[in-house]
Structure 1
Amino acid sequence: MSKGPICYTIGYGDRTLEEFISMLQNNKITHLVDIRRYPHSWMEHFDKEPLRSILPKNGISYVHCTGVGGMRESSYSEYMGTEEFNNSFSRLIDFIMEVNGIDGNPVLMCAEKNPKDCHRRYLAQHLEQLGIKVIHLTEPGQIDFSSFS
């Protein structure tokens, strides 16, 4: 019996790179999808290029999906009604399903530790409406299954 599609989310917040990678590995994450519009951080090791370099060395592939990123001129919920968002979200769903199809575990990553303070909450709602179970990795050893509906 199939478990159904699953997608994780995580925010790096003020974590060290070692703690972040440990959380990913402890949850058997195979593919990280960077959902920041601008993949830069005040902590340089969370910039796009360092992540693209170090994650594969730890058994995790890196993909950047800018089209579902936050920091928009309008509100994120307004942005979700655009063609740009819908096209990017469709590609994200295809990627999640592809990763699940090879028994992988995708995670959506941005900066905010708490998904309730982040655009991940809106993405999670949309994914859950499509039957994709969303699991939020919050602190080491802790996960949040709660829906934001």
Structure 2
Amino acid sequence: MISKTPLCYTIGYGNRTLEEFISLLQINKITHLIDIRRYPNSWMEHFDKELLQRILPKNRISYMHCTGVGGMRESAYYEYMETEEFNHSFSRLVDLIMEVNGTDGYPVLMCAEKSPKNCHRRYLAQNLERSGIKIIHLTEPGQTDFSSFS
């Protein structure tokens, strides 16, 4: 039996409307959104955790929050990645991604920054790729990026 390579998308909401954001998720058949913000609130209220928890399931997308891999740390993110807290949270994230893939679902990691080049999710993507998970960055409708920007 041939097993498929686990897959995970990433996305940043940037300055998108909620409708644009959900459309981009649906076009890419996303089934599970994993919020990787340390603080799941936004100056754009429609991207606050509480609203996403209500709206996404109405669009057949599950919402999960994985705070331990979030950015906005006292030290540089790559330094935080050396901590036990990060390693524990990262293992939990990998388990979530594998679980979603095991049900033929499609997970996406969400943060605020539209471009993964300017976001901590680029570091997560590099680690996930080292763990054998293929990463696809959703940037604009019809546009994806397979690079982790190493």
TM-score bin, normalised by smaller chain = over 0.9
Aligned ranges 1:7-22 → 2 under 5 Å: 7-22=8-23
Q: Identify the residue that residue 33 of structure 1 maps to in structure 2.
A: 34
Give the Å deviation of 1:146: 1.4
For residue 82 of structure 1, what is the aligned residue in structure 2?
83
Aligned to 1:107: 108
Matched, 1:146 2:147: yes
Equivalent position SS for 1:143: strand
Using the alignment, how far apart are the partners of 2:138 and 2:103 within structure 1?
21
Which amino acid letter does the alignment assign opposite residue 105 of structure 2? G
Partner amino acid for 2:100? V
Corresponding position of 1:127 = 128
Percent identical pairs in the alignment equals 81
In structure 1, what is the Cα distance between the partners aligned to 2:94 and 2:80? 17
Give the CA deviation at 1:55. 0.1
Q: 1:30-49: CA deviations, max 9, x gaps?
A: 00000000001111000000
For these two proteins, the number of residue pairs brought into alignment is 149
**Aligned partners of 2:57 and 2:84: how far apart in 1?**
32
1:104-142 superposed Cα distances (whole Å, 9 cap, x missing partner):
000000000000000000000000011100000000111
Q: What per-residue deviation string (whole Å, max 9, x for no partner) do you get for residues 83-108 of structure 1?
A: 11000000000000000000000000
Return the alpha-carbon distance in structure 2 between the equivalents of residues 90 and 135 of structure 1: 20
1:24 paired residue number: 25
Regions of 4+ moved over 3 Å: none
Match of 2:49 in 1: 48
Q: CA RMSD in A?
A: 0.7
The aligned amino acid for 2:63 is Y
| Counterpart in the other structure of 1:63 | 64
Partners of 1:99 and 1:112 in 2: CA distance: 24
Distance 2:40 2:148 in 1: 26
Paired AA for residue 111 in structure 1: A
5+ unaligned residues in a row in structure 2: which ranges? Answer: none
49-58 vs 2-11, which moves further: 2-11
Q: d(CA) in 1 for partners of 2:127 and 2:30?
A: 21
**What is the one-letter code of the residue matched to 1:144?**
D
